Structure 1
Amino acid sequence: MLNHFIRAASAAAALCIATAALAAAGAPASTAQTSKGAALVDGRGMSLYTFDNDAGGKSACNGPCAAIWPPLIAASGSSAAGDWTIVSRDDGSAQWAYKGHPLYTFTKDGTPGDVNGDGFKNVWRLAKP
């Protein structure tokens, strides 16, 4: 029982350190543990996803698609760094991308840590660090 507690505490400490490092670097997302392992999450702790139909660093999810899969919007004045880039959307807004893949949340994820969108229609993937 004590070993389990120590392992859990160590994992929590590692996650806090990783999250703090991302925050210090100005990253628009952090890493959290989900039922499917480590994943990128937004500032509310909601899982982030990539869309297989996106190509060339451009979002293919607009209109009704974006209503179900809201893009991770980059605020005015945000700047890209490292693996984080900003792509222009068809509506003129700016969206965060990780390693060239635009990022989205999923409206059917109700609480932090939900991963209901992973594998959806075999084109949506949980964003992994």
Structure 2
Amino acid sequence: MKTLCKLFSQILFAAAILCLSSGCDEDDDGITPDASGQVNLTNASSLGEILVDGNGNTLYYFTRDVDGESACSGTCIQSWPIYYSDDLEVGTGLDQADFGTITRADGDMQTTYRGWPLYYYSPTSDGILAAAGETSGEARNNVWYVVKPAYSLMLANAQLVGHDGINYTSDYTEGEAVTQYFTDVNGRTLYIFINDTRDTNNFTSEDFSNDAVWPIFYVDVDELPGTMDKDEFGVISVFGRDQLTYRGWPLYYFGQDAQRGENKGVSFPRPGIWPIANLDTPEAP
């Protein structure tokens, strides 16, 4: 009996040590809850201002979530635990109206920022978060990026589905594939026109009568995801209006992309005439 009592005492002592080292206030997934329910801005050195929770843990977005729904589930959540607060308070420099909530496919709730679901990063893939202030998840696999308060452009990864309802690959042949491309901050797809030449818009009419079909796109380029190069963007004047260029290609929306994440323009009027803009876009002729 004494031996059993001694053994039981040893087990309790070991459990206490484990509790102290790992944190007994963690939930079943090993995620340290953010009791404050806050999202704040902090300066992350070369990355500039980024969003963190009330404990200083960095928040991330997933390029696969361009449609506003979470594409991270199963084992993905072990490395990228979801962020959710049911009583969110935002810090100075942030707008409460930019935050929302979605119900995930698994039934859990998740907080969003400008329509992008928010995540943490767990380097050990066991739900234990990276230390407060760390940004080691930035550009992970070229699909995970820190959340900034004012991105100029964003990256998305999705299946290309044309205006004709057909799925396309990145070379605009029919098929199933996930392609990365540029969007605005609200997840709206950006395109180039193959008949344009360097820094020259050959589509838009002088009276802008066709602008509703392919609206020209412009934004001041300031904050970008880490794999994008600000120096590759420029600005041209199109009949008195500014248009952003990438590697010399003028950038456009497609008027019939009504929902975030849609990329119907890839098949209009036929595949390859209006390619998506992305990091593989060559220099304009």
- Superposed pair shares fold, TM > 0.5: yes
What's 1:113 paired with? 133
**Coordinate RMSD, CA, aligned:** 2.2
What residue in structure 2 maps to residue 66 of structure 1? 77
What amino acid sits opposite 1:112 in the alignment? A
Matched with 1:84 is 99
Question: 1:44: Cα distance to partner?
Answer: 1.2
**Shift, 1:31, TM fit:** 0.6
Residue number among 109, 121, 133 corresponding to 1:94 in the alignment = 109
Go from structure 1 to structure 2 and tell me whether the alpha carbon gap of 1:67 and 1:98 turns closer, same or farther (over 3 Å shift). same
Tell me what 1:128 maps to: 148
Aligned 8 A contact 1:53 1:60 in 2: yes
TM-score, normalised to structure 1's length?
0.71
1:37 maps to 48
Could you tell me how far 1:42 is from its partner in structure 2? Answer: 1.0
Superposed displacement of residue 89, structure 1: 1.0
CA contact (8 A) 1:33 1:113 kept: no
Distance 1:33 1:121 in 2: 23
Letter in 2 for 1:83: D
Sort the Cα spacing of 1:107 and 1:123 in 2 relative to 1 into closer, same or farther, 3 A.
Answer: same
What is the DSSP-based 3-state SS (H/G/I as helix, E as strand, rest coil) of the residue aligned with 2:131? Answer: coil
Task: Tell me the CA shift for residue 37 of structure 1.
Answer: 1.1
Equivalent residue of 2:112, what SS? strand
The equivalent of 1:103 in structure 2 is: 118
Structure 2: which 5+ runs fail to align? 1-36, 89-95, 124-128, 150-285
Structure 1: tracts of 5 or more residues without a match: 1-26
Displacement of 1:30 after TM fit?
0.8
Note if contact 1:73-1:93 (Cα within 8 Å) is conserved in structure 2. Answer: no
Q: Secondary structure at the match of 1:120?
A: coil
> Which fold has the larger relative contact order, with Cα–Cα distance below 8 Å and residues 6 or more apart in sequence?
1
Deviating runs (4+, > 2 A) in structure 1?
none
SS in 1 for 2:110: strand
- Structure 1 contact 28–96 (Cα < 8 Å) conserved: no
Q: Deviations over 1:13-69 (max 9, x none)?
A: xxxxxxxxxxxxxx7411111121110001210100000001321000011001110
The alpha-carbon deviation at position 74 of structure 1 amounts to: 3.0
Q: Does 1:57 align with 2:68?
A: yes
Question: Deviation at 1:110?
Answer: 2.9
Deviation at 1:102, TM superposition (A): 0.3
Is 2:43 the counterpart of 1:48?
no
